């Protein structure tokens, strides 16, 4: 059964940690490395600007890693 996603421009996400309204999100990048010295890609770390707890990660792999 497909999930219907409603585009809600008035939605303000809340931090699951401190319940602050997330009108903006802090982000930083870390460089992920494998067992060799090759750079595996960049990781983006998203954090609540109020309590600085991590909300999630994304990872961009190198083109050769798929
Ligand atoms: Zn927070």
- CA of 46 from ligand 1 middle (Å) equals 11
Q: What is the pTM of this model?
A: 0.63
Task: For 18-28, write each residue's pLDDT tens digit.
Answer: 999 999 999 99
Among the residue ranges 10-14, 49-53, 60-64, the one predicted with the least confidence is: 60-64
Q: Where exactly are the structural domains of the chain?
A: 13-61
- CA of 41 from ligand 1 middle (Å) equals 27
- CA of 55 from ligand 1 middle (Å) equals 8
In the predicted model, is pLDDT for residue 31 greater than 80? no
Phi-psi region of 61 (alpha: psi -120 to 50; beta: other; left: phi over 0): beta
- CA of 40 from ligand 1 middle (Å) equals 29
Q: Identify the pLDDT of residue 8.
A: 93
CA distances 38 to 4, 9, 32, Å, are 41, 41, 9
Task: For 1-12, write each residue's pLDDT tens digit.
Answer: 899 999 999 999
Mean pLDDT of 29-41: 67
Q: What are phi and psi of 63, to 5 degrees?
A: -65, -30
- CA of 12 from ligand 1 middle (Å) equals 13
């Amino acid at each position: 059964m497909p999930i219907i996603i409603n585009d809600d421009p008035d939605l303000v996400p809340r931090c699951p940690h401190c319940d602050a309204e997330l009108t903006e999100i802090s982000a930083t990048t870390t460089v992920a490395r494998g067992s060799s010295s090759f750079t595996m890609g960049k990781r983006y770390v998203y954090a609540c600007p109020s309590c600085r707890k991590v909300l999630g990660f994304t990872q961009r792999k190198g083109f050769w890693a798929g």
